[in-house]
Structure 1
Amino acid sequence: MKFILISPKNRTVYNFRGDLIKEIQAKGYDVIVTGPNDEGIKHIQELGVRFEKIKLDKTGINIIADLQYTIKLLRFFKSEKPDAILSYTIKPVIYGSIAAKLAGIKNINSMITGVGYVFTAETFKAKIIRFFASLLYKLGLNSSTNVIFQNSDDMKEFIDRGLIKEKKCRLVSGSGVNMENFKPTLYPDNITFFMLSRVLYSKGIREYLEAAKKVKIKYPNVTFMLLGAVENMQDSMSMTELKPYIEKGIIEYFGETNDVSKYYAKASVFVLPSYREGTPRTVLEAMAMARPIITTNAPGCRGTVNEGENGFLVPIKDINLLAEKMEWFIKNPEMVVEMGKASLNLCQTRFNVDKVNHDMIKYMNL
């Protein structure tokens, strides 16, 4: 039996889907992974899978390039004749599902890991993109056998927008987190806040930086860390904009890395002021390492926090309240340990990767 995983970015395969791939292999499937470039192929192949490069511009708006991507997928599917496929993120979901349907594949699975910039931005350009993305989503999801959502808000919105019929929808608790790889560690001596994310406006990067700036005025010895790539896309903050926060000592900035656990270990509290998520994997990793959470009362984020127990929810774009919740931890440092334990318990109960992958395997009928 043969299974194909259609990925938009190689790093997400070995960082987020490795445990799922092992479960699929355990069911007797040979797994093939498609990715857009040669980055990190060695890490993918170490999972015991075959890798096929199929070029994809995951953020660009180029109809010809997207059509070429669809045709390459179609040819690949016809050649490999897989028993089942799984795609995730917008372009693999849309074009992968259409290509799979045309290739005659019977078991086509799509996973909505979040809706991101297309559904959160309100600029004129974003609204135009959203209109066409909705049309394409409807076409792609109608080609799918199962559509797996990572939070109930996204699922409801897609149903309400008429993009998918409810009978095709399935719900899991994010991508899950391997709690053997992410374990509790000692907390730093001084309160340290940490945000791990691409440096995108929709991830709440501006709010994190400005809240850090406000807090540092009153508490100059508190540390704020930021780990994540500055990307060449419309939603990304530029390095020119980010640089003053680094030079003024407001944040300690780190680029991308394959070893994120050591950065969680340096943190007291994890912060993600995102406008919307599927279920944020970074938050789950922080919870597995027994860190309290400050995130937003937004789809995907709100499901990771029991208010006042393992952290706090703040409205999106609310810099003042975000800063207030940060200050609360500074004034109540003893609560870091108590809320961290609550995060760990919640993670074990709801977000353990073994539970999530069990549900994924069931929903994909493998």
Structure 2
Amino acid sequence: MAKIIVVSHYTKSLINFRGDLIKSISKLGHDVIALGPEKGYENELKKLGAEFIQIPLDRTGGNPAKDLKTLLSLIKVINKIEPDIVLSYAIKPVIYGSLAARILKVEAVYSMITGLGYVFTRDKGKEGILKKVVKILYKEALKNNKAVFFQNPDDMEFFRSEKILDNRTQAVLINGSGVNIDRFYYVSPPIKPLSFLLIARLIWDKGIGVYVEAARKLKSRHPEVSFKLLGPFDSNPAAIKKNDVEKWISEGIIEYLGETEDVRPYIANSSVYVLPSYYREGTPRSILEAMAMGRPIITTNAPGCKETVKEGVNGFLVPTKDPYSLARAMEKFIQNPDLIISMGKESRKIAEMKYDVNTVNNIILKTMSLI
């Protein structure tokens, strides 16, 4: 029996994105200790087989004093638990979780790169300096990792070309976080009324502004079509403000659905899933969930997104930051609604063959010598 610490940047993500992995590790007889900054999810994590410990971590802030507090807290927790394995994901947990484990000479340290995020979408001014700092921290932190999991080949190549990853460290490519294809089951998409859906944290880099602009262009020609937006407001530096969303609603362009604990009913009530992201995703979980439920996909030809679509088979790829191309792709479904059914079925097939969470997790478990 091994003791495994899983370090997260957002406690809820331990359930939504790592729940199946935690459950699998626990069922194998290992002890799982989940670390995250927010309380309130202890019972759900317990059901998955994990103990929860709160740590101080500001996932979007850039205060060095707060980050030092995070590192010291992780050192304290890891020293007390004496784990056999430390697995971290997202920027700050990977950096500070790996550094803490290295200081304490934990032998089996693993990291998961779940996209490059906001820091790597901007290259000027303060963001450009921050990008350089993060690259240095990544390089130092990953030195002691036995393996690093990447959710798309572009991120893996970036870490290699920038020499962030030591040649001795194993790079393992996985198909995103995977999706539970039993929980996200196929539902035939509604054609009338036809609707588009975007699910994301409300930050500009997810392409929400591009989606709104494309919807504005189409609404005048197709007033019967609805354009839905689902997701929470966020503290990210690129966060969308409430008055922006209120303006879109008052214009009659967007239906804002708020946030939810369960996206399945909203996907089931939509025709086509859209994510025009330029965020440097790992592999967007929302796309995988929509695919598993049989929705055609429109997304960008960007790292992490482009791997989910076979052009003209289960959807369409569009350039980033291009509302005109996005509107044209969306209009193909309005003019040819039969494509929604046929491409949606192809999405489901791809989800079953490529993105089944059990297949993805087995690669992780084998790499960590747990099976």
| Pairwise TM-score range, normalised by the shorter structure | over 0.9
* Cα displacement (A) at 1:200: 1.0
Which residue matches 1:182? 184
Give CA-to-partner distance per residue, 1:167-195, whole Å, 9 cap, x none: 42111000000011001113222211000
Which residue matches 1:201? 204
What TM-score results when the alignment is normalised by the length of structure 2?
A: 0.97
* Counterpart AA for 2:174: V
Give CA-to-partner distance per residue, 1:133-190, whole Å, 9 cap, x none: 1111111111322110000000000110110035421110000000110011132222
* Cα displacement (A) at 1:103: 1.2
- In structure 2, how many angstroms separate the alpha carbons of the residues matched to 1:143 and 1:209? 44
* Counterpart AA for 1:221: E
Give CA-to-partner distance per residue, 1:77-121, whole Å, 9 cap, x none: 111011101100000000000001111211101000000111112
Bigger CA drift: 250-259 or 77-86? 250-259
Q: 1:219 aligns with which of 219, 222, 226?
A: 222
Give CA-to-partner distance per residue, 1:218-275, whole Å, 9 cap, x none: 1111011101111122111111222111122211112221111000001110000011
- In structure 2, how many angstroms separate the alpha carbons of the residues matched to 1:350 and 1:263? 24
Bigger CA drift: 262-271 or 231-240? 231-240
Which residue matches 1:70? 71
**1:4/1:84 contact within 8 Å kept:** yes
- In structure 2, how many angstroms separate the alpha carbons of the residues matched to 1:170 and 1:198? 27
* Cα displacement (A) at 1:354: 0.8
Which residue matches 1:7? 8
The 5-angstrom pairing of residues 1-366 of structure 1 reads: 1-166=2-167, 167-188=169-190, 189-275=192-278, 276-366=280-370
* Cα displacement (A) at 1:20: 0.4
**Any idea what SS the aligned residue of 2:253 has?**
coil
* Cα displacement (A) at 1:197: 0.2
**2:26/2:48 contact within 8 Å kept:** no
What TM-score results when the alignment is normalised by the length of structure 1?
A: 0.98
- In structure 1, how many angstroms separate the alpha carbons of the residues matched to 2:89 and 2:247? 35
Q: Kindly, what percent of the aligned residue pairs are identical?
A: 46
* Cα displacement (A) at 1:40: 2.7
* Counterpart AA for 1:253: Y
The CA RMSD measured in Å over matched residues stands at 1.1
* Cα displacement (A) at 1:122: 3.3
**Any idea what SS the aligned residue of 1:148 has?**
strand
* Cα displacement (A) at 1:13: 0.8
- In structure 2, how many angstroms separate the alpha carbons of the residues matched to 1:105 and 1:35? 20
**Any idea what SS the aligned residue of 1:271 has?**
strand
- In structure 2, how many angstroms separate the alpha carbons of the residues matched to 1:31 and 1:40? 15
